A and B are shown apart, each in its own frame.
Chain A
Amino acid sequence: MRTLILYFSLLLFLRLLGKRQLGEMELSEFLVASLIADLAANPLQDIGMPMLNGIIPIVTLFCCEMLISTLSMRSVRLRAFLFGKPSLLIFHGRIDQREMRQNRFTLDELMQEMRSQGVRDLSTVEYAFLETSGKLSILLYPNEQPPSAGDLNVPKRITGFPRILVSDGRLIRENLIKSGHDERWLAKQLVLRGCELGEVFLLTVDDASQVYCAKKERNT
């Protein structure tokens, strides 16, 4: 019972904190996430501990994080104080060794990040920012960047993004409406592909009405 209560409480609070908590985290967010997990575990492991000893600190952390996030959004100074500022490790192709020392960022780590982002040659890097989340952002010299369709004068097809219309045999009506189609159109697409709604694993459509359809495998 305790496990269920704490689990759903955690789920609710982390959901309320927002997507940032699940993506790249700032320092305070990382702190809250790891503290919350630990706080929740204590009453689960020790049945003699009141459950409020877990829930109250979690609620307190959630409230503090919510307020700090809001205040830091409104104040640049507070944001810089709490989260720091991005550090420029490479400026105009030159490695700033002092910045690297200050951030305790080693050459091995720099090379590792370069490799993970597909950069073979350091001389192609114009800027490299060490973000406040700890991620390294690399910006190449304009000449080194891959050409875009616009650069090559290649006409691009407007496709928008694919919307899921059918997921595991179930129609998502809201997406069907947003895509500008109706059920008659969907039925026609299914007939063209020789399947029924319940047999579809995934069906998407983009703004150019390009349809992708994957049928369910027989054993599922």
Chain B
Amino acid sequence: MKRELVAIALLILMLGFLFGNLRFLGDLVEEVESALGRSAAAWERGDRQLAVSEMETAMEAWHSAAEYAHIMLRQGEIDAVSDAFFDLSAALREGEEKSTDAYLRLYYHLDSIERMDALRLSSIF
């Protein structure tokens, strides 16, 4: 009976871990995306300095979760987001129109990470 209780406890623990992870990931993506949102808004207003600063805030938020990312996320996903950040940073510093594309790409990768781990039919199947 002990083993069965341990099995049930482990399942409950993993369920808790799952919801905890989803929440943490959601908060992380939200934090990064809100900084990106401010950066994009600043860019559209023509405030390049603020756009770069907010982008760097977003990048910092992403890098602060590096340990979590390396434990929980696939390396391909981490690389995709990091590459998208570098591309966005380069685009902002060059002041190019493709900054809009760079923002969209980064949003896409971040959403993709959240979607893949979410409890949805599309992520399960």
Chain A residue at minimal CB-CB distance from B69: A50
* A64-B7 Cα distance, complex, nearest whole Å: 8
Asked, given contacts A50-B71, A67-B8, whether A59 binds B14 with beta carbons under 8 Å apart, the answer is yes
Give Cα distance in the complex from A14 to B97, angstroms: 58
Q: Choose one: B4, B70, B73, B74; the contact of A66 (CB below 8 Å).
A: B4
- The answer to whether A67 touches B72 (Cβ under 8 A) is no
A60 to B18, CA, bound (A): 12
List A24-78 residues whose CB lies under 8 Å from chain B: 47-50, 52-53, 56, 59-60, 62-64, 66-67, 70
Contact of A60 among B11, B71, B74 (CB under 8 A): B11
With both chains docked as a complex, state the minimum distance between the C-beta of A33 and any C-beta of chain B, in angstroms.
17
- Contact yes or no, B74 A49, CB < 8 A: yes
Q: Is the CB of B74 within 8 A of A48?
A: yes
A66 to chain B, nearest CB (A): 4
Q: Is B120 an interface residue (CB 8 A)?
A: no
In the complex, which residues 1-15 of chain B have their Cβ closer than 8 Å to any Cβ of chain A? Answer: 3-4, 7-8, 10-11, 14
**Beta-carbon contact of A70 and B74 below 8 Å:** no
Can you list the 4 inter-chain pairs with the closest CB atoms, starting with the nearest?
A48-B75, A63-B7, A66-B7, A63-B11
Q: Contacts A59-B10, A59-B14, A60-B11 known; A49 to B75 CB distance under 8 Å?
A: yes
Note all chain A residues with C-beta closer than 8 A to B10: 59, 63
Residues of B within 8 A of A (CB): 3-4, 7-8, 10-11, 14, 70-76
Q: Is the CB of A62 within 8 A of B72?
A: no
Number of interface residues of A (CB under 8 A): 16
Tell whether A62 pairs with B14 under 8 Å between CB atoms, given A50-B71, A50-B73, A52-B72: no
> Within 8 Å CB of A59, what residues of B?
10, 14
Contact present for A67 and B7 (CB under 8 Å): yes
**Chain B min CB distance to A184 (Å):** 41
**Chain A's nearest CB lies how many Å from the CB of B4?**
5
A111 on interface, CB distance cutoff 8 Å: no
Near B by CB (< 8 A), chain A positions 68-104 give: 70
19 inter-chain pairs at a CB distance below 8 angstroms, sorted by A residue, are: A16-B3, A48-B74, A48-B76, A49-B75, A50-B70, A50-B71, A50-B74, A52-B71, A52-B72, A53-B74, A56-B14, A59-B10, A60-B14, A63-B10, A64-B11, A66-B3, A66-B4, A66-B7, A67-B4
Shortest beta-carbon distance, B2 to chain A, in Å? 11
Chain B residues with CB under 8 Å of A53's CB are: 74
Nearest neighbor of A69 in chain B, beta-carbon distance: B4
Cα(A70)–Cα(B14), bound, Å: 20
A64 to B10, CA, bound (A): 10
**How far apart are B32's CB and chain A's nearest CB, in angstroms?**
20
